[in-house]
Structure 1
């Protein structure tokens, strides 16, 4: 594994620090008036989700870990476990349903997602950035209402509430950004 200097850490980097795997969430480069510069890094443990704030000077060396990314297809959910299949080898793996966090409702049957592996251990799962959902309940369209920064609540077929523009009606398909969990466009 390559070693990098403390000032080369960027958000999204995966590091091995104190015997654990950490993802850099936020990095602030600080140059105090007295003393040397350092990087203030907010780290998130990839195995248990705990957080840690750490300072790395430019002379500090940290192990940067490369995770292997594989596209896998979602098959089904059973007993709080999500079952995925590698489409090239047909191997199936089970992951806890909470690996996706609050984005879990956007997972659909047959959806391809990216699972990140460290050696043979699955550490992270990422949904596609945009997912198509159907609106099951919203206020009716009001004629003459402009779309200038006015949004109305809508309930999606997966149970998630999002804010949509006034011209979007019930039983319409919309595209939702899974990172921000907001309306992106009509489908």
Structure 2
């Protein structure tokens, strides 16, 4: 779909030289001298590479239509992952390469958002935070509530994260899926 830079939004998918790029950030800039321009940060949908790109205001760009739907993660099948569309119960299989690092934070029955273009899953978007349980961490120091110290902890997905020293085994807590940080304990 032919558009111009005024149509750039976060999450829009641009087709640049046959490759699909997601807009992570954009900023319309109107300097005192010279013409206005749009500064963007783009992420390649297939490789995950990010680049900064600047367009003159009004430049023609190609925005691609991407279907984003909520899916429920069902199970892993070898290197692939099976998801179900909760609106019509259709199942799709997504390759492990496409799922990528999201596997570190996915549990069965978890809801995710999958972007699909021409029937091909492009990427998986996790919720901003997920609740996971620690299966193993070294014993903490009782009474140490300082935020300065951290220790490694293994999550129920097998992924390792750093948590405050006072956290113990089998603690459920919120994890920020964007920057992989500890957000606090959850009482269940």
Q: Same fold, TM exceeding 0.5? A: yes
| TM-score, length basis structure 1 | 0.81
In structure 2, relative to structure 1, the CA distance for the partners of 1:20 and 1:145 (3 Å cut) is closer
Separation of aligned partners in 1, 2:101 and 2:123: 14
Separation of aligned partners in 1, 2:46 and 2:169: 41
Q: 3-state SS of the aligned residue for 2:174?
A: strand
Q: Verify: 1:4 aligned to 2:1, yes or no.
A: no
Separation of aligned partners in 1, 2:148 and 2:17: 48
How much does 1:95 deviate? 0.9
| TM-score, length basis structure 2 | 0.81
How much does 1:78 deviate? 1.6
CA contact (8 A) 1:98 1:104 kept: no
How much does 1:51 deviate? 5.1
In structure 2, relative to structure 1, the CA distance for the partners of 1:148 and 1:81 (3 Å cut) is closer
Structure 1 residue ranges without an equivalent (≥5): none
How much does 1:25 deviate? 3.3
Separation of aligned partners in 1, 2:149 and 2:87: 46
In structure 2, relative to structure 1, the CA distance for the partners of 1:133 and 1:87 (3 Å cut) is same
Q: 3-state SS of the aligned residue for 1:77?
A: strand
Q: 3-state SS of the aligned residue for 2:98?
A: helix
Separation of aligned partners in 1, 2:46 and 2:165: 42
Paired residues in the alignment total 186
Residues 13-22 or 30-39, more deviating: 30-39
Q: RMSD of aligned C-alpha atoms?
A: 2.7
In structure 2, relative to structure 1, the CA distance for the partners of 1:56 and 1:83 (3 Å cut) is same
Q: 3-state SS of the aligned residue for 1:103?
A: helix
Q: 3-state SS of the aligned residue for 1:88?
A: coil
1:17 corresponds to which residue? 16
CA contact (8 A) 1:13 1:23 kept: yes
1:80-159 aligned at under 5 Å gives the runs 80-159=79-158
In structure 2, relative to structure 1, the CA distance for the partners of 1:148 and 1:83 (3 Å cut) is closer
Structure 2 residue ranges without an equivalent (≥5): none
How much does 1:32 deviate? 7.4
In structure 2, relative to structure 1, the CA distance for the partners of 1:45 and 1:146 (3 Å cut) is closer
Q: C-alpha deviations, 1:32-71, integer Å up to 9, x for none?
A: 7975343343433324545555431113122333422211
How much does 1:14 deviate? 1.5
In structure 2, relative to structure 1, the CA distance for the partners of 1:144 and 1:76 (3 Å cut) is closer
2:185 corresponds to which residue? 186
Q: C-alpha deviations, 1:3-27, integer Å up to 9, x for none?
A: 232x653443222333432212344
